[in-house]
Amino acid sequence: MVTSSKLTAAQQEQFERDGYLCPLPALDAGETRRFLADYLAYSEEHQERLATLPPRQRYKVFSETHFVLPWVHELVVHPRILDAVEGVLGPNFLAWNTTWFTKMVGDKTFVSWHQDGTYWKLSSPKVVTAWVALTPSNPITGCMRVVPGTHLQPLMEQRETADQNNALSRGQEIAVEVKEEDAVDFVLRPGEMSLHNLWIVHGSNPNTSPDTARIGIAIRYVSTEVRQDSPRKPVAVLARGQDRYGNFELLPAPGPVTAATTQRHTELVDHIRSSITTDAKVLPTK
């Protein structure tokens, strides 16, 4: 039985102070198994396409699936997840962006230390990422790590790297040395989740487990009052409450998957990516 995920006053204060909460309940055992099976079937269906893409371009397959796959949409509007998010954002918010982060056994993929807010061009910090684990996420499998309190510091300079094992689309990383002893591991059991602020410094190491894959999804929720500086009106799904602002185009829940779904998915990925800056203040590659 999964306990309530509604945040207590103490948890809300901790999120404001530290920039994260971990772990929190999200899915029960049956739901976790079902969503994992759906994910594995989707991944298997796209293996031939994935084989042609380096790690930092796999987002083309594993981003924004909540717009086109009914089971992913069901996951991003799951009441337990939304209950926790509401404790941070209030009653009215959107599911804007999703990315599956998978590290198979022996996978050298990592995520460099970075701050999401540098590239998203959002008008307000009323944004939170829920990271939902479908398999064990721990230091051995390459769990996410954060540096507590860094969301309260000034924006850090970034640089872009050429490492093809970096899962980030441009290999972006902060140009500041991070003390490993300051980092906190987000240890999650299947069905648990974490929440983190868009400005907190975070990253992850490769999966060194001999037998366990790390599979999870990052869901980015934004308050309805948030705007994005973009040449195209951004798209999102209404996750909870009402939208009285109209800053995002609200897309309906996806229908059945058809032959046209892949093309529609590609168009939506390109739409979202066109709204994420490629000219943030960065330093030259090392």
Domain residue ranges in the chain: 9-283
Domain 9-283, classified CATH 3.40.640.10, yes or no: no
Question: From the CB of residue 118, how many other CB atoms can be counted at a distance below 10 Å?
Answer: 20
Half-sphere exposure in the Cβ direction for 87 (13 Å, CA): 24
Q: What is the pLDDT along the chain (286 residues), one digit of tens a residue?
A: 667 789 999 999 999 999 999 999 999 999 999 999 999 999 999 988 888 877 667 778 999 999 999 999 999 999 999 999 999 999 999 999 999 999 999 888 888 888 888 888 999 999 999 999 999 999 999 999 999 999 998 778 777 766 667 766 555 677 677 788 899 999 999 999 999 999 999 999 999 999 999 999 999 999 999 999 988 899 999 999 999 999 999 999 999 999 899 899 989 998 888 877 554 444 333 2
Of residues 263, 216, 224, 226, the one with CA closest to residue 241: 224
Both ends of the chain: CA-CA distance in Å? 49
Q: Which residues, 6+ apart, have CB-to-CB distance to 123 below 8 Å? A: 226, 227, 228, 229
